[in-house]
Chains A and B, each alone.
Chain A
Amino acid sequence: MSDQRSPAVEARGFSFSYGPRQALFDISFALDRRAVTAIIGPSGCGKSTFLRSINRMNDLIDGHRYGGDLLVEGKSVLGARLDLVSLRRRVGMVFQRPNPFPKSIFDNVAYGAKLNALASRQELPALVENSLKQAALWDEVKDRLDQPATGLSGGQQQRLCIARALGNSPDLLLMDEPCSALDPIATQRIEELLVELKERYSIVIVTHNMQQAARISDKTAFFDGGRLIEYGVTEQIFTAPAVERTEAYITGRFG
């Protein structure tokens, strides 16, 4: 078990570059457990890159290089010999666009659990039900678990993707603009869901939507130009930002 007092995620002088381009510079901050942390900032500020560093999805980029250190619940995730499989089991991710597998609803949720042998065949249905309930999707799909997931609406698909991530019983959920492809009603459902989920999971959400960040997050980090400009309690960031640049972005003067 990892240390209960260490932060959900902690960056220590963290940097990231690929090829000759440096995307993130000297980022240091600690994210709370059992809380929603929002990362906001203009396009290309590095917020998604930072998020994708936490579960090492950036390893897919050619010529990637990490600097400094990045810890999840007190353990560095940057070691060359780190077991990516177990890291990604502990750190779930939900993407911009819903990306269910072209399989049944049941199989989608059971996918991670099957791989990681988290449940026996007999236990799978309960795990799937539990995950779908946590993702507030169970009532809508309980009668058609064997139907293809691609037949669901966009909002349902995204909640299915959340259920799929929860099926791995992660410690941490990373969300990369999870509502950017959804309509306002579906967005609202996801937001309500996140507020419920933070009782049990640590959540980091990257969002373009500042109202969203203000509505659902406990703390907010503002990124610009690959640097962490300001980080603090959401209310303070949005009402009394300490840095002029943050205020300019929040009031819509750039970005």
Chain B
Amino acid sequence: MNRLGWRRWKSRVMVGLMMVAVVVAVAPLVMILATLVARGAGSLNLAFFTQIPVPAGETGGGVAHAIVGTLLIVGTAALLGLPIGIGAGIYCAEYPTARLAVVARFVADVMNGTPSIVVGVFAWTLIVDVQKHFSGLAGSAALAMLMVPMVLRTTEEMVRLVPHSLREAALALGYPRWRTSLSVVVRTCLPGIVTGSLLAIARIAGETAPLLFTALGSQFMSRDLDQPMAALPLTVFTYATGPYDDWHRIAWATALVLILVVLVLSLLARLATRQRFGSRG
């Protein structure tokens, strides 16, 4: 075999190996989705989205309380966590060598690697144990704590991707540094920040452990963040570990709803990125 043929053969082998890796990486995702649809789709109907659970043994009912709970808890967590995470991320990117930024970056990396149940226990000590009752707000606080380091790091990366020449252009036009940061640098990478935020929201929407000791879960519709509250992951956990077949079916269906919520968020993230970046040529 001549040299060219040998190189072509090597190239084909390497491409083949990488394709195998891609298939192996994607396969679990496809299998999860397929299983959820197969086991859960049958239980989905209008009542599932609009009603609260019925007592064990009866058929019907839904998980409206958990859908509302997840929206409230995650929404509040985003309100708490996004401004802090994005603000800190911009600071770390714009003043990369400041002592505060170095510390924040290190803490964020450690926090990103911290198991979420640890954060849950911490939120329990900080809020639930002090207030002497579980609450949706404690759940939001725990989720916000998980969000901040994620958002901080993605924001920082996005801001750093903005070319230095754009900063110079704004400064040379007479923009003060803070306005350059906000109106040029952040505006330029806003799609990236939005994407990072949506992905972080999608991540925490599926978190179960931090909610176990904080929001606790509930069988009833609750819109009061000061009270225990249901959430989709908690509902999956409760029903999946329960003794009844009917409960297991609800758990599958709830899991499917949860995945769909996360999927929609991810798609929104994609859309946000594409629309804004499309104009960059």
Binding site for B on A (CB under 8 A): 55, 57, 60, 84-89, 92-93, 95, 97, 99-102, 111-112, 115-116, 148, 150-151, 161, 164-165, 168
Contact = CB atoms under 8 A, between A and B. Distances in A.
**Majority SS at the chain B contact face:** helix
Nearest to A164: B173
B211 to A, nearest CB: 40
B55 interface: no
Contact of A92 (B168, B172, B188): B172
B174 A88 contact: yes
Interface residues of B, number: 18
Contacts, number: 66
B281 interface: yes
Contacts of A116: 174
Given A93-B168, A116-B174, 4 more contacts: A55-B172, A86-B174, A99-B169, A101-B184
A164 B166 CA distance: 13
Nearest to B277: A102
Interface in B76-101: none
A143 to B, nearest CB: 17
B168 A112 contact: no
B279 interface: yes
Contacts of B113: none
Interface of B: 163, 165-166, 168-176, 179, 184, 188, 279-281
Contacts of A97: 165
10 contacts: A60-B171, A86-B174, A93-B172, A95-B172, A97-B165, A99-B168, A101-B169, A101-B188, A115-B174, A150-B279
A165 B169 CA distance: 9
A154 B184 CA distance: 21
Given A101-B188, A151-B281, A95 B168 contact: yes
Contacts of B166: 99, 101-102
A51 to B, nearest CB: 11
Contact of A148 (B163, B165, B173, B279): B279
A101 B179 CA distance: 14
B165 A88 contact: no
A101 B279 CA distance: 12
A100 B163 CA distance: 11
Contacts of A165: 172-173
Closest 5 CB pairs of A and B: A99-B165, A93-B172, A112-B173, A88-B174, A89-B174
B165 A112 contact: no
B174 A85 contact: yes
A116 to B, nearest CB: 6
A161 B179 CA distance: 19
B174 A168 contact: yes
A88 B168 contact: no
Contact of A88 (B172, B184, B188, B279): B172
Contacts of A100: 169
Nearest to B188: A102
A95 B169 contact: yes
Contacts of A115: 173-175, 179
Which of B168, B169, B172 has the most C-beta atoms of chain A within 10 angstroms of its own C-beta? B172
A112 B279 CA distance: 22
A88 B171 contact: yes
B172 A85 contact: no
Nearest to B278: A148
A150 B281 contact: yes
Nearest to B163: A99
Contacts of A101: 166, 169-170, 184, 188
B65 to A, nearest CB: 44
Contacts of A87: 174
Contacts of A164: 169, 173
A83 B101 CA distance: 28
Chain A CB within 10 Å, residue with most, of B163, B171, B179:
B171
A95 B166 CA distance: 10
Contact of B280 (A57, A89, A99, A150): A150
A57 B168 contact: yes
A71 to B, nearest CB: 19
A102 B173 contact: no
B172 A57 contact: yes
A93 B188 CA distance: 21
A161 B172 CA distance: 11
B165, B169, B175, B179: residue with the most chain A Cβ atoms closer than 10 Å: B169
Contacts of B169: 95, 99-101, 161, 164
Residue of B168, B173, B279 with highest tally of chain A CB at under 10 A: B173
A251 to B, nearest CB: 34
B165 A168 contact: no
A227 B188 CA distance: 39
Contacts of A99: 163, 165-166, 168-169
